[in-house]
Structure 1
Amino acid sequence: METQEKPNQITAWLRESVSFKLVFIGMLTLVLLIPSSMISSLIAERATRREEVISNISYNFAGKQLIKGPVLVIPYKDHIEVPDGTGKTRIQPVERKLFLLPEQLSVKAGLSTDVIHKGMFSAVVYKTQVKLSGNFAKANLQNLGITADQLLPAKAFVTFSVSDLKGLKTNPSLTLGSQTFAAAPSAGNESAFSNGLQAPAPNAGDIANTSLPFSCKLDLNGTDGLSFLQLGKTTDVELSGNWGTPNFDGRFLPDTRQVKDKNFSARWHVLYYNSPFPQQWIDSASVMNNVAKQADATFGVNLRLPVDDYQETTRANKYAVLVIVLTFVSLFLTELITKRRIHSFNYVLIGAAMIIFYTLLLSFSEQIGFNWAYLVAALATVSLITTFIASLLKNRSAAFSFAGILSVFYGFIYIIIQLEDFALLAGSVALFVIVAVLMYFSRKINWDRADYSVEAV
């Protein structure tokens, strides 16, 4: 008889014990981390899918453009000593190259933007005419150990590059001094750039005595952004476009900028002191193809869509554990205050509803944007949980109070996501207040009692 009563007592204790319920809530919270992490992976997968679609649009239209150049290349005669096989050496003529960067480089470009939609994803594309102008200064041949007689101006050329040649809409030409030359794809390893273009420069023979002015126009298509390479001893860039959310990035920020609702303009004035490239050098055509040095000399603008819904959804999902913990603690206190026990399985269902909130947020944000999606997902989740709690407790006022608490939690997370710079400060203060409130309501609970009794607050 005593043997039968003992299991019944254990069962009753497990059902009524406050301590056991708290342990269960803690374990359930840890279990819910698994679907939360799966949702994080799903968000990353959808973001990757969007990037694939943008890459596909870029492939069909044109990719992000980086303007490189121009660089003046002048072959010259030299000689080396080579063994002749008899123990002696002989003089062998060789051809080397002299590379010169512009003394002054000016760039002007105006972007005409558009948004291309493919399914539920979008990409920003643009058309532009880039005007390059400037001059190559007199070469300091003495420092390089070269004489003017060694130069081969008939073989000289100017090389430049754009990242995606498919974006060129007209055949580019280059004006050097008073002469204009058509540009063609670079041959072999002659160019200073991979994927480069070059135009002949036969009038560069007097570069040791005088400067050589140049100008060029490029009619380009591109996607997402336009950047430039700092090559001039002085580099000036003027950029404008009909896009209201530009992101200026790269090694240098604009000296002046103006951003309005539907257009922007920016100016850069960059000196060569920060340049990773020498103004003139010999032999090595690979100097300009150094990826790290190019990254250290690149600047421009990105034309991203105003809101990155996947980034905001990811940030919201990072607070999932906080929302779950606070909700479970509030629900647990509601049990104690109303003296109505909620079965552990119902906690599981409520936890599932809070996890589904993030799948609703992700799916709706792809269709209607993050802000409206957050409102829809929050209203749906709060309504579902409130209705469920009301049916469990048979107490509408308690259910509506819990709905208010849950709404505060979701509103709190939304505000933190929007604040960005002050998110840590706002979150810390809010958490402090929440803990203080929980302390206030829990101070009268008799934790030693194996039931849900509570003294008057």
Structure 2
Amino acid sequence: MIQEIQNEKPNYWAKDSVIVKLSVIAALILLLLIPSQWIQSLISEREKTQDEVLNDVSDKWSGSQLIQGPVLVIPYQKEVRVLDSNKKEIVRRETQTLYVLPQNMQIKANINTDTLHRGLFRAVVYNSKIWVQGNFGKPELEKAGIDPAAVNYDKVRLIFSVSDLKGLKSNPVIQLNNQKLNVEPTFNGKSPFDDGLQVSFTLPKDQEITFSFSLDLKGSNELNFMHTAKTTDVEVTSNWVTPSFDGRYLPDTRAVTKSGFNAKWRMLYYNRPFPQQWINDDSVLKNDKATDNATFGVKLRLPVDQYQKTIRTTKYSTLIILLTFVSLFFTELIRKQRVHVFNYILIGAAMVIYYTLLLSFSEQVGYNVAYLIASVATITLISLFTSSLLQNRQMALLFGFILTTFYGFTFIIIQLEDLSLMIGSILLFIIITLLMYFSRKINWEKQ
């Protein structure tokens, strides 16, 4: 008889031990990490598809635009001493190039935006009117060691660049002093830009050059400018209400309203990464690091990026599942009513499916509404299921309130990006405090 009782003890311990139950719950949480990772991969895949759609739309419409220049390109002749085939020193005349940047430049841009849809995905495109004017000072030929008599004044070029020429809606016309000239691509000859537009003209001696031109330009996602003049002033206005100012320089003044935005920049040459003039090297303005340090502009950001918010939400999935299982486990102890492990699995599955609901609905109605739909559906389902298990509506309502609190705090953390760490830390501290309080009288050996 004693032997039979002794044989029953391990079974009784395994059946009723709180520690064993907690170990099983912990194992379930670890297993639920697998589908959670699958969902994160699904979100990343959808985000990648969105990027591909954006690139495709940009390729067909026009890409992000960068306005560079203008630059004055002045050829001149220089005598160079070289050795011939007989190793005799001879004098040869070579054509070299002096590059000069503007003294002052003012740019005004007006951006009219639109949103193109490709299935579930959206892309921001725009039509813009851009006015550019400024002046070049007299080239400092003596300072560069150039004989003024050796300059080819009749072969001077003015070159500027638009990063995606496909976006030009009309042929630009440049006014130099009182002369209007049609531009042409820089297909041949040395150019400071890869995709440049140029005009050739005769440079007047001992006289400043004023220039002005306008661009009827379309693009997508971004409009940027390069700081090339000694003093560069830029003003951008648009009907887009969620701009993101990007690049090396932030605007000096900005105003964002419900009808659009206005931003102004003023840059001096002290922090410009280019010299005012240089000789022969046509790669100065092509240097990636220097270009990045001189580029600024505006990014036309979509109001809500549901994929970034959804993937941030999924990162809290383990914590939410853990807290839900702990809450259900404490409910077991309070009610002294066993909940089968299989029921934990079903509740965990419902909480994983929650994220697919959130993803699919956010693509249709936006993140905030999708969060509400997925949360209400999941909380209602789990509360009704818990009510059926425990045969107690009050406990089910309490459990539903706990889930609402968890999802509510998660939503707040996602919205408050800058304060998410502090709010999350406070929430975890409160949860640990409550767990300490409710776990004081639990018999960890058996229920």
With the shorter chain as reference, the TM-score category is over 0.9
Match for residue 416 of structure 1? Answer: 413
Match for residue 369 of structure 1? Answer: 366
TM-superposition CA deviations, 1:239-275 (whole Å, max 9, x none): 1011111111111111111110121111101111111
Corresponding residue to 1:249 among 243, 246, 250? 246
Match for residue 454 of structure 1? Answer: none
Match for residue 139 of structure 1? Answer: 139
Match of 1:91, SS?
A: strand
Deviates more, 1:78-87 or 1:99-108: 78-87
TM-superposition CA deviations, 1:75-119 (whole Å, max 9, x none): 111122222122322112111111011110100011111111111
Alignment of 1:81-160 (within 5 A): 81-160=81-160
- TM-score, normalisation: structure 1: 0.95
Match for residue 455 of structure 1? Answer: none
State the distance in 1 between where 2:217 and 2:3 align: 88
Are 2:377 and 1:351 aligned? no
Asked whether the 8 Å contact 1:138–1:210 carries over to 2, the reply is yes
Match for residue 197 of structure 2? Answer: 197
The Cα of 1:318 is off from its aligned counterpart by: 1.1
State the distance in 1 between where 2:228 and 2:171 align: 23
After superposition, the Cα gap between the structure-2 partners of 1:178 and 1:15, relative to the gap in structure 1 and judged at 3 Å, is: same
The Cα of 1:140 is off from its aligned counterpart by: 1.4
Are 2:68 and 1:71 aligned? no
The Cα of 1:8 is off from its aligned counterpart by: 5.5
Asked whether the 8 Å contact 1:151–1:205 carries over to 2, the reply is no
The Cα of 1:2 is off from its aligned counterpart by: 8.8
Asked whether the 8 Å contact 1:135–1:211 carries over to 2, the reply is yes
The Cα of 1:205 is off from its aligned counterpart by: 4.3
After superposition, the Cα gap between the structure-2 partners of 1:189 and 1:384, relative to the gap in structure 1 and judged at 3 Å, is: farther
Match of 1:294, SS?
A: helix
Are 2:339 and 1:339 aligned? no
Match for residue 283 of structure 1? Answer: 280
TM-superposition CA deviations, 1:137-193 (whole Å, max 9, x none): 111122211121111122211111111111100001111111111111112352110
Match for residue 261 of structure 2? Answer: 264
State the distance in 2 between where 1:437 and 1:113 align: 51
The count of corresponding residues between Structure 1 and Structure 2 is 447
Are 2:400 and 1:403 aligned? yes
Asked whether the 8 Å contact 1:248–1:254 carries over to 2, the reply is yes
Deviates more, 1:270-279 or 1:438-447: 438-447
State the distance in 2 between where 1:92 and 1:226 align: 46
State the distance in 1 between where 2:79 and 2:337 align: 98
TM-superposition CA deviations, 1:33-78 (whole Å, max 9, x none): 2221221111111111111111111111111111011111011111
Are 2:161 and 1:164 aligned? no
After superposition, the Cα gap between the structure-2 partners of 1:381 and 1:3, relative to the gap in structure 1 and judged at 3 Å, is: farther
Deviates more, 1:85-94 or 1:297-306: 85-94
Q: Which amino acid aligns with 1:387?
A: L
Match for residue 300 of structure 1? Answer: 297
Match of 1:138, SS?
A: coil
Are 2:212 and 1:215 aligned? yes
State the distance in 2 between where 1:359 and 1:8 align: 45
Q: Which amino acid aligns with 1:352?
A: A
State the distance in 2 between where 1:253 and 1:189 align: 35
Q: Which amino acid aligns with 2:436?
A: M
The Cα of 1:12 is off from its aligned counterpart by: 3.7
After superposition, the Cα gap between the structure-2 partners of 1:223 and 1:2, relative to the gap in structure 1 and judged at 3 Å, is: farther
Asked whether the 8 Å contact 2:159–2:197 carries over to 1, the reply is yes
Match for residue 60 of structure 1? Answer: 60
After superposition, the Cα gap between the structure-2 partners of 1:4 and 1:218, relative to the gap in structure 1 and judged at 3 Å, is: farther
The Cα of 1:9 is off from its aligned counterpart by: 4.4
Q: Which amino acid aligns with 1:223?
A: S
TM-superposition CA deviations, 1:14-46 (whole Å, max 9, x none): 232100111112222222222212211111111
After superposition, the Cα gap between the structure-2 partners of 1:194 and 1:343, relative to the gap in structure 1 and judged at 3 Å, is: same
After superposition, the Cα gap between the structure-2 partners of 1:205 and 1:6, relative to the gap in structure 1 and judged at 3 Å, is: farther
Asked whether the 8 Å contact 1:235–1:271 carries over to 2, the reply is yes
List, as ranges, runs of 4+ consecutive aligned residues in structure 1 with deviation greater than 6 Å. Answer: 1-7
The Cα of 1:126 is off from its aligned counterpart by: 1.0
Asked whether the 8 Å contact 1:36–1:320 carries over to 2, the reply is yes
The Cα of 1:10 is off from its aligned counterpart by: 3.7
State the distance in 1 between where 2:11 and 2:418 align: 51
State the distance in 2 between where 1:221 and 1:437 align: 58
Q: Which amino acid aligns with 2:363?
A: E
Asked whether the 8 Å contact 1:80–1:93 carries over to 2, the reply is yes
- TM-score, normalisation: structure 2: 0.97
Match for residue 437 of structure 1? Answer: 434
Match of 1:375, SS?
A: helix
Match for residue 231 of structure 1? Answer: 228
Match of 1:244, SS?
A: coil
